[in-house]
Amino acid sequence: MDAEILVRHAQEVLRHNLVIGEGFTYTCPSRDTYQHQWLWDSCFHAIVWAHFDPKIAQQELITLVQKQFPNGLIPHMNYWRPATGFKPRVGDFLYKGTWPEKDRSRITQPPLLAQAVQAVYQKTHDNAFLAQLLPAMERYYDWLHAERSEQVSGDGLVAILHPWESGMDLLPIWDYVHHIRRLFALRAGAWLGAIIKDYNKAGWDINHIKTIQGPTRFLVHDVSFNSIYILNLQVLADLCSAAGDESRADIYRQRAAMARQSLEQKCWDEKAGFFYSRDAITGELFPEVTISGLFPLILDMDKTKAERLLREHVLNENEFWLPFPLPCVAKSSPHFNPRGSAMVLWRGPIWLCTAWYIVRGLLHNGHGDIASKITGKLAEMIQKAGFREQYNPLTGQGYGAKNFGWSTLIADLLLDEKLKV
């Protein structure tokens, strides 16, 4: 495997997906399928751009925060220009009209903005850029704290209010909210739309949303979203310190500590040795073994728990240690489907962004050898199948969108000295 060639291809994919217009510069996930700007995709793109062209990474993030709501919410999608081509237009037809605003969505996505800003800052040490982004970041994480934690459970954990906020649209975890055994594509699509309709009726007021009866009341403490939130509070604290604001830094460190403690207390299942997402109101745990439950590996948490995640799950050949490791759903799950599907996403294939997080988590826990092994397998898979949206963990076959943006995260791993493969 030639890492250099793969890294060069990654750069070409990002350049191919670059969209520049009046007042915006961003990288779309894929020109054939996803032409708009998505929050967590843009953060991943910026992390990879930081290696190749930090100026573009800066523009990507500046563009991202331009459509921030006055209350601090950063939308999961920004629509900068109309979609072209059949598939993207169908996507717009199905979902775009559901939001109250026509140029952005009303929900968010995993909050890794601070990590993306940090990746760029570490390369550039550009204090003006940091000063420009800090106010938007503070308002965003303060909004998450006030609206999604204080107004829901008050224990530091943040609730997501739509499956799309997790970034993992139809992970089997959500079936527990929907209360059906198997989520078929049409029913799933109808349910995702129905939630938004009911929230429109509730005026997007969290106190109203809490009172909705039935499966369109979706308030979940998702393990991956919370792990990303906690890590990013720590990163934000470091960025505040870098900007000389120790009192803000302290506030974010305290919030991170409280949320991490709640995550370990409320989402850990001692018998399963695993973290499960839960209903944010009733506290019911959703016992599905998915990649979301491995995310606490990115945090400074109790070592025995981290070791159990590694030995009993990551390295388990019946769960995540497959010919190509780290599928989004454990092989042992009745929902595991190794093939990609355009209609019911996140039911088994490998997605590079989640695998990237777990590799980073393993490195964080001192398991560089395992992290390198996984990186090597992922690189081999991408070299054969190209930069696709999803991959089959049994065969390495690629599925879904082509020239897919965040699959270039492989370059971030390959360029990391600690992960030399």
Binding residues (CB under 6 A) for ligand GLC: these are: 29, 34, 38, 40-41, 167, 169, 345
The helix or strand, by DSSP H or E, that contains position 312, with its residue range, turns out to be none
Using Cβ positions, the residue closest to ligand GLC within the complex turns out to be 29
**Closest alpha carbon to 356 in 388, 379, 340:** 379
Cβ proximity of 371 and 58 under 8 Å: no
Nearer to ligand GLC, 72 or 167 (CB): 167
Instruction: Please state the closest distance from residue 217 (CB atom) to ligand GLC, in A.
Output: 22
Instruction: Please state the closest distance from residue 59 (CB atom) to ligand GLC, in A.
Output: 19
Cβ proximity of 326 and 393 under 8 Å: yes
**Closest alpha carbon to 357 in 273, 264, 263, 291:** 291
Please give the radius of gyration of the chain, using alpha carbons only, rounded to the nearest integer. 20
Instruction: Please state the closest distance from residue 402 (CB atom) to ligand GLC, in A.
Output: 13
Nearer to ligand GLC, 37 or 153 (CB): 37
**Closest alpha carbon to 401 in 43, 32, 108:** 32
Q: Give the burial class of 354: count Cβ atoms within 10 A of its Cβ; 0-12 exposed, 13-18 middle, 19 or more buried.
A: buried
Nearer to ligand GLC, 17 or 153 (CB): 17
Instruction: Please state the closest distance from residue 97 (CB atom) to ligand GLC, in A.
Output: 17
Instruction: Please state the closest distance from residue 367 (CB atom) to ligand GLC, in A.
Output: 26
Handedness of CA 383, 385, 386, 391 (dihedral sign): negative
Instruction: Please state the closest distance from residue 177 (CB atom) to ligand GLC, in A.
Output: 17
Nearer to ligand GLC, 156 or 400 (CB): 400
Q: Helix, strand, coil: what percent of the chain each, to 5?
A: 55, 10, 40
Nearer to ligand GLC, 108 or 375 (CB): 108
Nearer to ligand GLC, 69 or 95 (CB): 95
